[in-house]
Amino acid sequence: MKLYSGPLSLFSRKVEIALREKGLAFEREMVPFTQAKGYQPKHPAVIAANPKQQVPVLVDGDLVLFDSTLIFEYLEDSYPEPPLFPVGAQERARCRLFDLTADEILLPLIRPFMHRSEPPNPDPERRRAQEAAAAEAELALLRHYDKLQAELGRRDFFCGRLSCADIALFMSILFIQRLKGPRLDGHPGLAAWYGRLLARPAFGGVAGEIAAADRELSPALQS
């Protein structure tokens, strides 16, 4: 099995965590990335596999897949132990809904912070506009923190046991924190959940690699 990943790719890192939590051996190839040029030059294998020309791309024998959610589903079907989806149609749908929330609801609110990892815009007015958008996104994210903490309740994980829901939401929270978005201080239940995941080797390893990549690739975040 081979995974084409990116050092600061949220979606690729989701797949890496799933592979490691399932104990699956895989070869990883990091595609070129810089903050100034993005994913350039595009890796030819990624171009051939994904019409969007983005990572992650997973190769398992003759099968080539892209999209982290589709890869989650494939891994669960092909390598069901240990499971990363709960039992029962309703709980599995709930798990998928959390994954969708991370990708489609939270990610658009994370994008207004992404300029903080890039070289500063030379236009002062543009920088002010970027920070104004980030401030607005921060308020929306705090409201989502409220909802997520209520959904989590007293459980250790969002779907009772560790699942793809936790992986997807963890990566969203990780990116919010690395981009200096709203902290979890006012949400102790959510903070405890995040700490439990960081203590797991698969999650903590990815977080450490992203921090190391940022030290090399994102000097703006180090100030």
pLDDT digits (tens, 9 = 90+) for 95-107: 999 999 999 999 9
Name the pTM for this structure.
0.96
Q: Which CATH number fits domain 89-222: 2.60.40.1250, 1.20.1050.10, 3.40.50.150, 3.30.70.360?
A: 1.20.1050.10
177 vs 40, higher pLDDT = 177
End-to-end Cα separation, the chain, in angstroms = 38
pLDDT for 38 equals 87
Same fold: 2-78 with 89-222: no
Tell me the pLDDT of the chain averaged across its residues: 96
Query: Is the pLDDT confidence value at 119 over 90?
Result: no
Whether 37 has a pLDDT exceeding 90, the answer reads: no
Reply yes or no on whether the pLDDT at 2 is more than 90.
yes
160-196 in b/e form (b: 16+ CB < 10 A) is eebbbbbbbbbbbbbbbebbebbebeebebbbebbee
Say if residue 181's pLDDT is above 80.
yes
Q: 148: pLDDT confidence band, cut at 50, 70 and 90?
A: very high
Residue with tokens 């609801």: 105
Q: Which CATH class is domain 2-78?
A: alpha beta
| Mean pLDDT value across residues 109-130 | 94
Q: Is the pLDDT of residue 223 over 80?
A: no
Residues 170-184: what's their mean pLDDT?
98
Q: Of how many residues is the chain composed?
A: 223
Q: Which residue type occupies 197?
A: L
Residue 33 reports pLDDT greater than 80: yes
CA angle, 25 then 157 then 144, to 5°: 115
Question: pLDDT, tens digit, for every residue of 41-77?
Answer: 899 999 999 999 999 999 999 999 999 999 999 999 9
How confident is the model at residue 9, as a pLDDT?
A: 97
Where do the domains of the chain lie? 2-78, 89-222
pLDDT score of 185: 95
Place of tokens 């592979």: 19
pLDDT at 84 over 80: yes
> For residue 197, what pLDDT band results from cuts at 50, 70 and 90?
very high
